[in-house]
Amino acid sequence: MTRSESKRFSKALAFAAEKHAEQRRKDKSPYILHPVKVAMFLSDNGYDLRYQIVGLFHDLLEDTDTTTDELRDFCDEEMIEAIQLVTKSADYNEKEYIEAILNNPIAKAVKNADRIDNLRDLKNQEDIEFRKRYLHDTEQYFVGKFSEELDRIWSGS
């Protein structure tokens, strides 16, 4: 990563951390750790800075008061489209949601990284019904469609 890219990533991370500041995961860990792990997964798998920033921002529209206009300080229109695609609306249809994501390379990579991180953390989920639904949805909508790594994690779950 160049110095300029590193600076851009740092600014995006600070923004995401501020927006997720008061949020916690179900295991009580700071929420920002999840988007950071998503971004790091993308980095470790050779995805460029744009993908990594979308990884950092993937939950902002859904889980914070962030607006699309605020994203424009960090993202081009293609990145914003990917963030919007991974953002679930109140009345979303899982099948249509996944189909749209699969047709966008950035959204697909980010959703894959997100799902992998969530599957790794699922063992810490105490709500058995939530865990069952998450595993069911993973099998129905993700396995065989996103990545070999997701499929490997799935086969080990």
**Mind telling me the catalytic residues?**
62-63
Nearest to 34 by CA among 116, 109, 104, 98: 116
Please give the Cα distance from 19 to 34 (Å, whole number): 13
β-strand partners of 24: 30
Question: Rounded to 10 degrees, what is the CA torsion of 52, 105, 137, 153?
Answer: -60
* Structure-block tokens of residue 119: 């599957």
How far from the centroid of its chain's Cα atoms is residue 116's Cα? 9
